């Protein structure tokens, strides 16, 4: 059964209980919603394409439940918010384009953590990259959550002082903190108490920071992805990639 549901301001969305509905709905939202993803520079096809099947199912269930009983303006804002939250959470984790941080950062031998490989114009050790990711991720989170946030000093506060960790315990502690902060970022992205596309109340937008939660969480995902790619490159040059039991990715087109 397919109906056209008037959605306010001339917006009509095809309704058919399928993923086509989710795609049409997200695109219509992006086109019309003042608080939707286009406000922060995300096009509608990115919302739809990046959502996993589970994400589409979740968005479909969410949209269908309140479609009839919720006013059009609220429906538009809520569905766009759900799609954006799902997108950001997916990007913080693994995607179809890259492996997860848990795969990339596991089984790094202690003897390799402070080595700088030959063959790169400006190389870093694995310890330096991990600590830099941790420092930067914590900085973005503080900017989102702390009204008293102050800028750290670049580059001193964003990179460790040594090529290698002082101990195995220091490596484990850094990795645990990075993972805990990443979980906090995902929790923030999923928090219904905040307007994910809205402005952070105390945000100034100064320096490399934006003014919305979505911008900052997206920056965490981008920054981590960039440096996790560096980790893989350094591990290859050091001869410690891949970790054992790593499942080979299947990039072939579906039949």
Q: What is the pTM of this model?
A: 0.68
Give me the mean pLDDT over the 149-159 stretch: 94
- Cα gap 253→255, rounded to integer Å: 6
Give me the mean pLDDT over the 208-233 stretch: 95
**Torsion 142-77-46-252 (CA) sign:** positive
Q: Indicate the range of 74-83, 86-95, 241-250 predicted with least confidence.
A: 74-83
**Cα dist from 158 to 97, 136, 163, 172, 234, whole Å:** 27, 6, 14, 19, 19
Residue 178 is predicted with a pLDDT of: 98
Question: At 111, is the pLDDT very low, low, confident or very high (cuts 50, 70, 90)?
Answer: very high
Residue 239 has pLDDT above 90, yes or no: yes
Q: Indicate the range of 42-56, 76-90, 97-111, 238-252 predicted with least confidence.
A: 42-56
Q: Could you tell me the domains of the chain? A: 3-92 (no CATH), 101-238 (1.20.120.450)
Give me the mean pLDDT over the 115-140 stretch: 93
- Cα gap 23→226, rounded to integer Å: 29
Residue 79 is predicted with a pLDDT of: 75
To 5 degrees, how large is the angle CA 206–CA 210–CA 215? 165
Residue 134 is predicted with a pLDDT of: 98
Residue 56 has pLDDT above 70, yes or no: no
Q: What is the pLDDT of residues 156-189, one digit of tens each?
A: 999 999 999 999 999 999 999 999 999 999 999 9
Task: Answer whether 104's CB lies under 8 Å from 232's CB.
Answer: yes
Task: Answer whether 94's CB lies under 8 Å from 225's CB.
Answer: no
Residue 68 has pLDDT above 80, yes or no: no
Residue 192 has pLDDT above 70, yes or no: yes
- Cα gap 242→107, rounded to integer Å: 9
Average pLDDT value for the chain: 76
**Cα dist from 164 to 48, 240, 242, whole Å:** 42, 16, 21
Residue 123 is predicted with a pLDDT of: 81
Residue-by-residue DSSP string for 117-158: -SS-SS---HHHHHHHHHHHHHHHHHHHH-TT--PPPTTTTT
Residue 43 is predicted with a pLDDT of: 35
Residues written for the chain: 255
Residue 247 is predicted with a pLDDT of: 77
């Amino acid at each position: 059964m397919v109906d056209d549901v008037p959605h306010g301001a001339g917006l009509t969305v095809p309704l058919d209980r399928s993923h086509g509905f989710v795609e049409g709905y997200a695109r219509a939202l992006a086109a019309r919603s003042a608080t939707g993803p286009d406000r922060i520079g995300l096009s509608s096809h990115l919302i739809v394409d990046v959502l996993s099947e589970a994400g589409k199912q979740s968005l479909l269930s969410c949209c269908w439940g309140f479609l009839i009983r919720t006013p059009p303006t609220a429906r538009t804002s809520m569905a766009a918010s759900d799609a954006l939250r799902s997108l950001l959470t997916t990007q913080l984790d693994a995607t179809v384009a890259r492996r997860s941080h848990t795969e990339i950062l596991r089984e790094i031998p202690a003897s390799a953590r402070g080595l700088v490989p030959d063959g790169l114009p400006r190389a870093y050790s694995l310890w330096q990259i991990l600590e830099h990711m941790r420092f930067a991720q914590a900085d973005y989170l503080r900017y989102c959550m702390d009204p008293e946030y102050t800028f750290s000093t670049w580059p001193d506060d964003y990179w460790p002082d040594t090529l290698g960790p002082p101990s195995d315990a220091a490596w484990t502690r850094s990795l645990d903190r990075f993972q805990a902060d990443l979980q906090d970022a995902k929790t923030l992205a999923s928090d219904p108490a905040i307007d994910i596309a809205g402005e952070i109340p105390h945000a100034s937008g100064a320096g490399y920071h934006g003014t919305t939660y979505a911008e900052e969480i997206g920056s965490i995902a981008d920054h981590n992805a960039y440096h996790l790619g560096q980790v893989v490159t350094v591990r290859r040059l050091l001869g410690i990639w891949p970790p054992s039991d790593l499942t080979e990715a299947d990039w072939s087109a579906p039949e």
